[in-house]
Amino acid sequence: MTKPSPLTAQWDWQLNARCRYTGSDLFFARQNEGLGERLRRERDAKEVCSQCPVRQRCRDHALTFAEPFGVWGGTTESDRRFQRASPSTDTPRMTGRSSVKLRVSPTHPRPGMKERRMPAVLP
């Protein structure tokens, strides 16, 4: 049986955060905050995060625990919603040029063209 590690070990990364002594009002919206004010606040918060040594750990925390509010690891609420909705990084993606040429079926309409019905083939 192994001895459980202290829970504080999971949060020690926060001790090195650049925002540690910054007020939370920079990272969390205020009541009745206008759009322009919010965008400026988020930009300023992301600037603090951009030089933070634990930025990735903070972002991982926000994504893992689905933090619904605030700027975490340089991401806003909407940034994180988009990242959670994006395809997994495990999904293979084609990068660069592929040596495989794609062919379009002769019965499939060309892109940008209205669908044309193929004439029926009579026996």
User: Residue 119: inside a domain, yes or no?
Assistant: no
Residue 51: give the domain boundaries. 10-85
69 Cβ neighbours under 8 A, 6+ residues apart: 28, 29, 77
Give the residue from 51, 53, 45, 47 showing the smallest Cα distance to 23: 45
Count of domains observed in the chain: 1
User: Residue 90: inside a domain, yes or no?
Assistant: no
Rounded to 5 degrees, what angle do the CA atoms 41, 37, 80 make? 50
User: Residue 120: inside a domain, yes or no?
Assistant: no
pLDDT digits (tens, 9 = 90+) for 81-102: 887 665 554 444 444 554 555 5
pLDDT digits (tens, 9 = 90+) for 14-28: 999 999 999 999 999
Q: What are phi and psi of 64, to 5 degrees?
A: -65, -45
User: Residue 62: inside a domain, yes or no?
Assistant: yes
For the chain, the first-to-last Cα distance in angstroms comes to 78
User: Residue 47: inside a domain, yes or no?
Assistant: yes
Above 60 in pLDDT, residue 9? yes
